[in-house]
Amino acid sequence: MAGMDIGVLLPTGTAQWGPSDDPRDLISFGRRAERLGFSSLFVNDSLISPRIEALTMLAALAPATENVTLGTAALMPFLRRPVQAAQSLASIDLLSGGRLTVTVGAGFPGRFGRPLYTLSELPWSRRFARLDETVALWRALWDGAGAFHGEILRFADIPPTTRPFRPGGPPVWLGGATPAALARTGLMYDGWLPYPPEPADYASGLRDIHRAAADAGRAGTDITPALFVSVRIDDDVESGRRALDGYARSAYGMPLEELEKIQAVVAGSADQVCERLGQYVAAGVRHLVVRLGSLGLPSQRDQLERAADLIPAVRAAADHTSRSGGS
């Protein structure tokens, strides 16, 4: 698979803002990222920590940007009524001229998982089956279906809904790296956006997805291999890790040494960060979604500029991997 996309996660959470930051500056932040050469802008989704609501942010970005992909990392559909969510997503795809990509997730155990389901008034059990049916419902509605009869979701006589810009609707990716998530990605999703701490884990997961896709009669090349990764570019690894530790404690309430056990984290000089990202590229990643490990919008903008300087080298690494017969 040739080509390399490099995107950035917008700092939509209040934990990432300084006292004098204006959230309306997120629009200019996204526009600056586009001008710097980033190919996508992503937002995340939660009801536990205060933030600009994900679909509201993407709707604001749609007319303010021109070419970048607009994505979720990840949207949790159980927080929204499924038919209403299909309408909202189709509307954003229309407003952006077909630039939407929707990564979805079902939540995970721990302090963020069950409380979200309590707020959504949905059962925790069978959450993965509900997620897959919700995506199937969206795709049916985007194709003009007037009814849907799933095992969990059933709707008859659905009135005409908004059709997206692209026939069939925007691509839908899945987050997660459990064996079941890998199998489901290969079976029915258009992309994969996990955050494994080690490149070797990414490579093995991608192989499992390709096997599952082949078993389902799909081509592995039809599934976009993406990575969600926290990045801090600093003078050296030690100073970068100190800054990321502050970020982790503010955003997650945990030290960096705990966060990096479950998520991909890269810190250091520009060369060190580029080398580590290159290992993920060699493992098969073709769309990086970079979360900038910094607090306050001025510091986020500084990290954005530094990260933009890495784009040519990361893309060159992807080209070299493709030419040498890598993933």
Instruction: Give yes or no for a cis peptide into 200 (omega within 30° of 0).
Output: no
Q: Which residues lie closer than 8 Å to 199 by C-beta, 6 or more apart?
A: 279, 280, 282, 283
**Strand, coil or helix: 38:** coil
CATH number at residue 308: 3.20.20.30
| Domain span holding position 253 | 5-323
Chain centroid to Cα 282, Å, comes to: 20
Q: Which of 108, 107, 33 is nearest to 75 (CA)?
A: 107
The domain tally of the chain equals 1
**pTM confidence score:** 0.96
Cβ pair 102, 75 in contact under 8 A: yes
Q: What is the pLDDT of residues 31-79, one digit of tens each?
A: 999 999 999 999 999 877 899 999 999 999 999 999 999 999 999 998 8
Place of tokens 């769309």: 287
Q: Tens digits of per-residue pLDDT, 228-271?
A: 999 999 999 999 999 999 999 998 889 999 999 999 999 999 99
- At 8-28, the pLDDT tens digits run 999 999 999 999 999 999 999
